[in-house]
Amino acid sequence: MSLEAVVRISGDGQLRDGSEASQEFRQYLSEVDSEKLAEYAISCIENGFANSGQVLQDVVNEIGRRIGFKAENGRYQGVRNDIGFDGIWVDGNESLVVEVKTTDAYTIKLDVIAKYRDRLVEAGRVPKDTPILLVIGRNDTESLEAQVRGSRHAWSMRIIGIDALVKLMQINLSTLSVEVTDKIHKILRPFEYTRIDGIVDVVFTAAEDIGGDLEEPENIDAQASGVGQYIQDRTPKETIDQKKTEAIERLSAKYSTVIQRRKHSMYADALDGIHVVVAVSKLYQRAENYYWYAYHNEPQRRFLSEAAIGLMVFGMADLGFAFGVPYKLLEEYWDGLYGTVKKNGQEYKHIYIHEIGGKYYLRPKDRSTDIDLSPYVI
């Protein structure tokens, strides 16, 4: 369906503050994938329809969540006794007040927007000196840029186009690095542009992280593990992506919720009650046949620890099922797993899964404690 059609079947089809339609539509946005979310953002701009500005506001706030903020939706329409704002994005102790516009074809009253921010500060809802992020649909923002530069708000407001915001979302979802997310958040806040190291850092760190392959470890002490000499032979990316999608769809059905990607290989439901990390391995045929995975201390292990249900999913490239191993079980065996500590101090464990007599086992260092994975098939 078109985006306009989705709105029409939400509640009574009228997006009003506090309405059932608004709640259903926002829930729907939280469950669609990032590609569809990006498509919707562009649709609001290029194919304007009734209330498309309100729809764009909700879409932008959901994009903020995919970039790693805790986003609070604002009001569609201002009222006398309430504070008008489109969104508040929170990251730790810092916040952004977000204002969404489909176009800058008309003069935007910066003082009015700043007054909304000041009232939020007075109400204790955002910290003092919280900056304002203007999200604009059109790319031709020269007049608005000049307006901001020539005003007293030059150091408290920043402008970003929808296209650029979507790209930041895509970068954040494609990387495992928390550092990349932190730097994305920083460039959305006002800072001095004469020296552009901060922007370069975001590009470099993201490229470095995306270039790495965290599905399969790059080094192994073969003698310690007893599985033979390792030869670099990557699982095709297409296969990995397909297996991840299949595993997440099965888990979504099992828990009767929609589980969406938060970052590279990391997934969660909208309420953050379920966190899932998915890794996929091909079959390694050595002295013994096995599947082989990397389980990283940061951020995978930490991410799983932050939800009531944490599952490390191990998929096999040549099999039609996977294993969803509970975080708590892996914690019991953490010290007993083979591991590697990188030069930067980051640690990951080597996970070996062996097939014995038609059953699959996760093998720690102590082979007498092999873990039967039968209860965790998905």
Sequence ranges of the domains in the chain? 3-210, 222-376
The predicted pLDDT at position 199 comes to 73
Backbone phi, psi, residue 153, to 5°: -100, 10
CA gap 314, 329 in Å, rounded: 14
The predicted pLDDT at position 319 comes to 95
The predicted pLDDT at position 254 comes to 96
Tokens of 305: 């620890």
Instruction: Kindly report which listed range (64-78, 130-144, 158-172, 276-290) carries the lowest average pLDDT score.
Output: 130-144
Does the structure show a pLDDT above 90 at 306?
Answer: yes
Q: Which residue has the higher pLDDT, 39 or 104?
A: 39
Long-range contacts of 36-40 (CB under 8 A, 24+ apart): 37/62, 37/63, 37/66, 37/169, 38/63, 38/166, 38/169, 38/170, 40/3
Average pLDDT for residues 113-121, to the nearest whole number?
Answer: 94
Q: How far is CA 15 from the centre of its chain?
A: 26
Do the strands 347-356 and 338-341 form a parallel or antiparallel pair, or are they unpaired?
antiparallel
Tokens of 260: 């969406």
Average pLDDT for residues 121-148, to the nearest whole number?
Answer: 88
* CATH number assigned to the domain covering 3-210: 3.40.91.50
Average pLDDT for residues 230-239, to the nearest whole number?
Answer: 67
The highest-confidence range among 96-110, 166-180, 184-198, by mean pLDDT, is: 166-180
Percent of the chain with pLDDT over 70: 88
Instruction: Kindly report which listed range (26-40, 98-112, 334-348) carries the lowest average pLDDT score.
Output: 98-112
Average pLDDT for residues 117-146, to the nearest whole number?
Answer: 89
Average pLDDT for residues 348-364, to the nearest whole number?
Answer: 94
Asked if 165 and 63 touch (Cβ cutoff 8 Å), the reply is: yes
